[in-house]
Amino acid sequence: MSIDYSEKIPNNVDLAGDRKLQRALESWQPNFLTWWKTMGPAVPTEDVYLRTAVAVGREGWAHFGHVAMDEYRWGVFLAERNHDRRIAFGEQKGEPVWQQVPGEYRADLQRLIVIQGDTEPASVEQQRRLGETAPSLYDLRNLFQVNVEEGRHLWAMVYLLHAYFGRNGRDEAEALLQRNSGDLDSPRMLGAFNEETPDWLSFFMFTYFTDRDGKYQLGSLKESAFDPLSRTCEFMLKEEAHHMFVGTTGIDRVVTRTVELMREHDTEDIAPHGGIPLDVIQKYVNFHYSVSLDLFGSERSTNAANYFTAGLKGRWQEERRKDDHRLTEDAALIDVVRDNQVATEEISALLALNHDLRREYIADCQTGLKRWNRILEKSGLTHRLYLPHVGFNREVGQFREHHVTPKGDVVGPDAWAAKKDQWLPTEADKTHVRSLMRPVYEPGKIAGWIAPPTNGINDKPVDYEYVHLA
């Protein structure tokens, strides 16, 4: 099932066969392009070495080549349909999946799609100015790759809204271009997507921690009984993997360079030597991890239970779970604060599904920490990076009203205020990181605060001209 590129909007959903839908999307397209030009990447380029989806199968789904960014072929691609697919969980487990939206779930499904859709353009807006300080052309290219694909993810959600949700869906698609990250009057829907991404350390942390939240949200929507949503998310996950690769290897390279500078100057305080000290890296981990945890919602959630029971949103790798996939009889433990201590409470497994997804996410986050600590270990350093306690710096859920230290102690407001600067990036930390952000646009050259990548993109050398600036 390859993608039709002769169409104005490349797609594998036979848009040409549905004139009304095609016209609706074609009239949304110029609005998208206007949004891209005003809110998308701020650095003018001639062209960029980008990956474009050309098929949705397992092999060879992407084409690489230099393209002018505003001529990127954003399109609508769904993973292949499995005609035998059945609902894997909830009340209707075992029944055929839905090709249309059942009336009773219309509002809930639309809401899930709008929330997912809102995050996609938000990250493009957050990263808008980063190109001005890229540490290399390789990194600049990766930033733009992430940006165009988040733009495509917006298309993916807008397609579903237009195709399946009628007038309401079209209005929501319009609103996705009206809200903007950090806008005081009409901000993006979720907190983490209104934070700025002012420097490249934040960008790598964002792609590691926040894009990874996206992976888990998409993974649970991929289980949906609404088949077009499932197939859409399945294909998005393919693109998402690269975004997290950018984060993982970006932080690898920052840690590697930090260690080099520490050894070279025989000190932990490498800030005067143009590096990012380990304790600052830790504070950035603390911040980005904690705001990303908020994206999973409350530990106890009747919405999550209802979505699951109805078949709208499943668990991570639902089909690999060894239980009845209905969960009406099961219990689960969630974290709570009791008598000023972190404790657990048993609740119905259905109510604890956000917590379940978050647990999978946390285990996945640990793999990065292991990698980065291996770099420290190999260099003979005893210092280790870590994930702070799940209750640290939280605005959503059970820990919201409490101050919890990175170690997991519940403390009062004074103790929190006294230590906060040791745990979260201070203005001085941010100013230092920002002071290192100077663009390096010469092929093969790299900024002083980060190590070069070990490999180029798509077998191209590291010093390849990934971007031609205008």
- Which residues bind to Fe ion, rule: CB under 5 A? 120, 150, 153, 211, 240, 243
Task: Find the shortest distance in angstroms from Cβ 310 to Fe ion.
Answer: 24
Which two structure tokens, joined as six digits, stand for 79?
Answer: 């993973």
Q: Based on CB atoms, which residue is closest to Fe ion, 105 or 203? A: 203
Comparing CB distances to Fe ion, the nearer of 150 and 172 is 150
Beta bridge partners of 285: none
Shortest Cβ 237–Fe ion spacing (Å):
9
Consecutive H or E run containing 52: strand 45-53
CB of 207 to Fe ion, least distance (A): 7
Helix (H, G, I), strand (E, B) or coil at 391: coil
Closest CA to 212 of 275, 324, 124, 288: 288
The region, left, alpha or beta by phi > 0 then psi within -120 to 50, assigned to residue 90 is left
Q: From the CB of 238, what's the least distance to Fe ion, in Å?
A: 11
Q: What angle do CA 175, 176, 179 make, to 5 degrees?
A: 75
User: Cβ 154 to Fe ion, closest distance in Å?
Assistant: 8
Would the CA dihedral through 421, 424, 427, 430 be positive or negative? positive
Distance in Å, CB of 125 to Fe ion, minimum: 13
Nearer to Fe ion, 214 or 388 (CB): 214
What span, in angstroms and rounded, lies between the C-alpha atoms of 318 and 3? 29
Q: 3-class SS at 343?
A: strand
The CA distance from 106 to 310, in Å, is 11
Q: Considering beta carbons, is residue 271 or 291 the nearer one to Fe ion?
A: 291
Considering the complex, state which of residue 240 and residue 429 has its C-beta at the smaller distance from Fe ion: 240
Beta carbon nearer to Fe ion, 120 or 139: 120
Which residue's CB is nearer to Fe ion, number 125 or number 299? 125
d(CA 165, CA 188): 21
Report the C-alpha gap between 267 and 442 in whole angstroms.
30
Q: How far is the CB of 167 from Fe ion (least distance, A)?
A: 26
Do residues 193 and 181 lie in contact, with contact meaning Cβ atoms separated by under 8 Å? yes
Among residues 210 and 286, whose Cβ is nearest to Fe ion? 210
Which one, 150 or 429, has the nearer CB to Fe ion? 150
Question: Which segments of 62-194 does DSSP mark as H helices, in order?
Answer: 106-126, 137-164, 166-178
Kindly state the smallest distance separating residue 218's Cβ from Fe ion, in Å: 8
Closest distance to Fe ion from the beta carbon of 367 (Å):
18
Look at residues 310, 40, 354, 49 and name the one whose alpha carbon lies nearest to residue 216.
354
Residue 387 structure tokens: 């994930």
Q: Copy the structure tokens of residue 20.
A: 């009304």
